[in-house]
Structure 1
Amino acid sequence: MHPEKASAVGSRNSLNRENRNEYEEAKQIIDEEVDKIINHIHAKLPPEVLERLDVMGSIKSKLHNYFNQDFQNMLNRYIVTMEDEMAKKFRDLVDKEENRALSKYTPRGITDILERIGVADNLNTAEIERSIVDMYGHLQGHIERGVRDLESHTNALLREKSDVGAFVRGDNSYAIVKCSFRDNKKRPKTVMDLKLSISILDSELISPIYHYQVPVTSLIKDVVAKNIHHLIDAEIDRVSAERVEANSEPLGDQDKLFEKFKVLDKYVSDEDEEVRYQFVAKRFLDAVDGIGAEIDGQDYDALGIRENIKKIIDNQNIRNRGFNTSVNAITGILDNSRMGYQFIENYKNARECVIREYEDESESRLPDERYSIRLAYYDQEQLLSLREAYLKQVEELDREVQHLWDVCDGIYRSDRKEKGYDDWETLSEKMLSGAASAPESGKRGAPQSEVAKPEPVKDEAETRWNEISFIAPDPTTVDEKNPTLEHKLQEVSNRFPLMTEKMVKVFHDQNHEVRQVVEKRLSFLKGQFEEFHNQINPFHIQPGLLLDIDIVSIKKKQTTMKNMSNVINEFLYSVSKGFSDEIFLGANDQGNFTLAS
């Protein structure tokens, strides 16, 4: 655009400007505005300045051109905008009328149109039908889930009591490792303590979790293995779709399993390197062998193979994605459920996160409604270490309790000997050893020589029952690999009331020095044993994500317990794929059909 030309053209002009003289249309307005400015300049500037201004050309013509340019641009933009809006409304009106006309077609007419477009071979609606079925399936799943939640809440209200089913519902019950309801030690009548532990296996996690120290080689192999299984599933789906198109039954679960075994040789092999390394070259795996989460700065080479492979893995965030997703899920659900927390500590490298409603840990200063959550990931190596420590702790508790048992038994025997009273042990020993005379078998007043004396009884069989707990069965191979230790823990638990009973029988004075020392030790060991027994037995969990929750709630309100129930179920649906048995579901469907009919 030239400033001295008599007309200006905008970036886009109107479509209806062919027979118009835009300059004449705007001349009157532009001339008036230019004259106003010229008069203002003549009134303000002296004559000598005005003469110099006119040396290079007329001021009026320049102002006229600039005003004309701006005015034409504004006018063009306004007209073009109005035309666009009118065209859009016109197109919408045409589309509406066309849709109204198309809606008059009958179903027979639609069938004729589809047949004209293509026959069954050209127009295949299998994918569309499958998509519709999937959409209805997801919708039905959400509806069933909502109905189950409503039924669970209704049943909980009707029962008017709390149980394990108040936390995890239906298809997620298998994930419970431990759940216990106990009366609070300080307020047993009004407050209860709840312990809930949920284990999510590695195979059930939607996003897999890896430890921070896992080697890069393991990450690459896991990614490749996941890709291989995706390819196998896609091939099986293609085979199943071909059977459906051929009017045959789709592949069942067992058929899919055997088909996967057939195609597995195409992707994996222990001998053929061409098949084994078809996705990732062997030299790449050899280059990153032994590399963990970090590379020493002295050995770092930005152009090296291992550094660039590690950078690709780190950019995908495969190492941290799974655990970060779990932490985001639990914290987001807590926020949405209005269950705030004042303390959170995320041990990122250790894959552990601790969340508490209150920062203070002193029970005397905490309210009766509170919770604490511990989210941790364990692999097989960690579980082996935990199990070894668990066995050692059980042995130490058993040894200390047995030591206290011997002390209490010694005090009881000394008191029995000093006071000369009998119990079953001394009485049976006297009667069966021949030290005491048997009851008279003849007439009253019979001579002493005629009184029969019992013969001593020799206990040839070794006593196996300690009268504290029942005899445990011999451990099998399964028990040796997965010991529950419940029998030993039950025996230790049964010793505490027996020791308390002996101390009450021996000492009538509660302030006796020996009794206070023994009862103090007894109370300490009992508290430590209960705390240990309330923990999770590592032999009961498998590698995966562990959710450990401790709740303190008022029995009549149960506010924290009910809110935490929703948090747990939403968290499981967020991070776990869950478990379902097709045979079990089919049996349920048949049962429901039978009842309905």
Structure 2
Amino acid sequence: MARETIGKGPNFIHPEKPSAVGSRNSLNRQNRDEYEEAKVVIDEEVDKILNHIHVKLPPEVLEKLDIMGSVKSKLHNYFNQDFQNMLNRYIVTMEDEMGKKFRDLVDKEEVRVLNQYNPREITEILDRIGGSSIFNTGKVEQSVVNMHGQLQEHIQRGVADLENHTKALLREKSDVGAFVRGENSYAIVKCSFRDNTRRPKTVMDLKLSISILDSELISRIYPYQVPVKSLIKDIVAKNIHNHIDKELDQLNGQLAEEGREQLNDSDKLFERFRIMEKYVSDDKERDSKRYQFVAKKFLDAVDGIQAEIQSTEHDGLKIRENIKKIIDNANIRNRGFNTAVNTITTILDTSKMGYQFIENYKNARECVIREYEEEEVTRLPDERYAIHLIYYDQEQLTALRKAYSTQIEEMRCEVMQLWDVCHSIYTTDRDERGKKDWETLSNEMLQSAPEPVTKKRRFGGKTEESQPELRQETKRLWNEINFIPPKDTIVGESNPTEEVKLEEIRARFPLMLEKLRRVYADEKEITPETVETRRIVETRLKFLQEQFDEFIAQINPYHVQPGLLLDVDIVTIKKKKTTMMNMANVLNEFLYSVSKGVDNSPSEAVPAAALG
């Protein structure tokens, strides 16, 4: 029986040995030069971009473009770097999906299939032993399909990174788009770039807050004190979703066999409602459909049980203790947050962004990571970062919003008190020096001016004089600081943001500074008493402004929904931006690993409340 000679690569890792694990060379390349092939692809893409630049930009701009270096060489570097990243992703995928045993299996199958002659007797023996149900390549084919799908996804992400780097090169500036890719921009709650207070010319401070909703998390996060009964209901609800999906797949398969059109998104939505009726019910009787997966007595037994049971009440033979043990062994309560912490720390390690401080509040679902343990700003370098990862449920957000509104009211009271003091100092100085402003001028002119006498014509051509009406003082609605906001609707009352109050407080600080500047502009008339008054007022003004700036730098809880919140503070040098670019890669990898992203398909959620 004739056989073909098949080259088999060595079973070890080597960068140059042909067909070794991780090698850049292959036995099946047939003497082709991979460097020339890559150069052709890279040169073509670079020339396309350069031609586009030459067509779009005028000649006088092209002469001054990128004086410090060549745009073409930078584009070559970006292409080579992204090609190398995609190659590394491909190698990692091959190692994870196939492994050593899979390589041996593929080699054996290739040798067997590529024989020019297969005796019929072997086929008959295999059919008699087990048939196609046992001797099939379904799992191998599925593994290859999964590997190919992941490879395509990695290539797509690599191309997207290449596009982002190219756009950043052409913009020659940093913005929010340098942090998060376009498909993840919806998760941004707050992002701000501002100059560092200590070194405003060379260093900038960056703050980025990303919110991942509960519905977007791949592995759902639960508060530590979530009742066991709620966990069981969520597990049952997930099982119901799986049954609904299986029935929909069977229905679509049946329609395909009959040659009919499969269900679209709208049809699937209504079909889910119809199928869901078989599994859920509002009836709480023992024989209700809602208890077909978990008996009613089990749910009643764990009613009121949270993360811990008192040792005095613990009984290892009771139903509730055994059900709680099953739930604890599955680690459903802690799995989601532990996965998020492991993901962010692993990405930081692989990205060469080490950290000297980490504090994980497991029960509070909060984790603090800092590059340096030291917190004193004057002793820290100009390139550093800090990450705050925390999970909020609806009750925590309600408490945060209440505290946030209370702090705004207290801040406003203190600022208004200082405003009255500054205004009193200004009016006293104005009256003593006899200066005029709009307030004094309007009072003087309106009080001294007589009211005009109007004449009304009566029937018959006669006229009569009307007495002047008394001027009615109306309450002023405009404070001349910010415009009158519209009245809150039902939506506004249910979702307040407090932004109007914050803008008013912010606008009062420069006005108070201007009033003090006018009062103390003439240094000749300053006395020791006025110096002391000025020092006290300016100290208070500086303190309140610093506290207000620190307060508004925080995240407004009215802008956050229940889910995982990632708060990142970065200090970076403007010319280097090393920490900023590295953290951008970390954030995108974290979002890809933790979040499912935007789902445009109809909602598939069955509320756990339907289970009781």
TM norm. shorter chain > 0.5: yes
Give me the TM-score of the superposition, normalised by structure 2.
0.70
* Cα distance, 1:245 vs structure 2: 2.1
| 1:141 aligned partner | 153
| 1:192 aligned partner | 204
Residues 96, 207 of structure 1: alpha-carbon distance in 2 compared, 3 angstrom cutoff? closer
Range moving further from structure 2, 246-255 or 524-533? 246-255
| 2:569 aligned partner | 550
| 2:164 aligned partner | 152
Identify the match of residue 100 of structure 1 among 108, 115, 119: 115
Q: Secondary structure at the match of 1:299?
A: coil
* Cα distance, 1:328 vs structure 2: 0.1
Letter in 2 for 1:142: H
| 1:162 aligned partner | 174
**CA distance in 1: counterparts of 2:148 and 2:281, whole angstroms:** 40
| 1:289 aligned partner | 303
Range moving further from structure 2, 501-510 or 311-320? 501-510
* Cα distance, 1:247 vs structure 2: 2.0
Range moving further from structure 2, 249-258 or 386-395? 249-258
Residues 404, 132 of structure 1: alpha-carbon distance in 2 compared, 3 angstrom cutoff? same
Letter in 2 for 1:555: K
Letter in 2 for 1:421: K
Identify the match of residue 554 of structure 2 among 530, 535, 539: 535
Range moving further from structure 2, 164-173 or 508-517? 508-517
Range moving further from structure 2, 236-245 or 471-480? 236-245
Identify the match of residue 261 of structure 2 among 236, 244, 249: 249
Letter in 2 for 1:190: T
**CA distance in 2: counterparts of 1:205 and 1:97, whole angstroms:** 45
* Cα distance, 1:97 vs structure 2: 7.7
Letter in 2 for 1:526: Q
Letter in 2 for 1:579: V
| 1:4 aligned partner | none
Identify the match of residue 571 of structure 1 among 590, 599, 605: 590
| 1:114 aligned partner | none
* Cα distance, 1:459 vs structure 2: 5.6
Residues 387, 95 of structure 1: alpha-carbon distance in 2 compared, 3 angstrom cutoff? closer
Q: Which has the larger radius of gyration?
A: 1
**CA distance in 1: counterparts of 2:492 and 2:109, whole angstroms:** 78
**CA distance in 2: counterparts of 1:561 and 1:457, whole angstroms:** 66
* Cα distance, 1:175 vs structure 2: 0.5
Structure 1 unaligned runs (5+)? 1-91, 104-124, 437-454, 584-597
Structure 1 position 239 matched with structure 2 position 254: no
Residues 537, 93 of structure 1: alpha-carbon distance in 2 compared, 3 angstrom cutoff? closer
* Cα distance, 1:463 vs structure 2: 2.0
* Cα distance, 1:219 vs structure 2: 0.8
Residues 457, 126 of structure 1: alpha-carbon distance in 2 compared, 3 angstrom cutoff? farther
Q: Secondary structure at the match of 2:277?
A: helix
Structure 1 position 352 matched with structure 2 position 371: no
Q: Secondary structure at the match of 1:409?
A: helix
Q: Provide Cα deviations, 1:407-429, integer angstroms capped at 9, x if missing partner.
A: 00000010001111001111122
| 1:56 aligned partner | none
Letter in 2 for 1:282: K
Structure 1 position 371 matched with structure 2 position 385: yes
Equivalent residue runs for 1:442-521 within 5 Å = 458=471, 460-508=473-521, 509=523, 512-521=531-540
Residues 355, 130 of structure 1: alpha-carbon distance in 2 compared, 3 angstrom cutoff? closer
* Cα distance, 1:580 vs structure 2: 3.9
Residues 499, 94 of structure 1: alpha-carbon distance in 2 compared, 3 angstrom cutoff? closer
| 8 Å Cα contact 1:371-1:550 kept in structure 2 | yes
* Cα distance, 1:495 vs structure 2: 0.3
Q: Provide Cα deviations, 1:186-210, integer angstroms capped at 9, x if missing partner.
A: 1111111111110001111111111
| 2:38 aligned partner | none
* Cα distance, 1:311 vs structure 2: 0.7
Letter in 2 for 1:145: R
Aligned residues between the structures? 456
**CA distance in 2: counterparts of 1:538 and 1:383, whole angstroms:** 6
| 1:337 aligned partner | 351
Structure 1 position 392 matched with structure 2 position 411: no
* Cα distance, 1:318 vs structure 2: 0.5
Identity %: 65
* Cα distance, 1:142 vs structure 2: 3.1
Tell me how large the CA RMSD over aligned residues is. 2.8
Residues 541, 97 of structure 1: alpha-carbon distance in 2 compared, 3 angstrom cutoff? closer
| 8 Å Cα contact 1:496-1:526 kept in structure 2 | yes
Q: Provide Cα deviations, 1:248-283, integer angstroms capped at 9, x if missing partner.
A: 222211111111001011111111643111111111
Structure 1 position 524 matched with structure 2 position 539: no
**CA distance in 2: counterparts of 1:313 and 1:392, whole angstroms:** 40
| 1:270 aligned partner | 282
| 1:319 aligned partner | 333
Residues 405, 463 of structure 1: alpha-carbon distance in 2 compared, 3 angstrom cutoff? same
Residues 93, 243 of structure 1: alpha-carbon distance in 2 compared, 3 angstrom cutoff? closer
Identify the match of residue 417 of structure 1 among 431, 440, 446: 431
Structure 1 position 401 matched with structure 2 position 429: no
**CA distance in 2: counterparts of 1:94 and 1:471, whole angstroms:** 77
| 8 Å Cα contact 1:171-1:580 kept in structure 2 | no
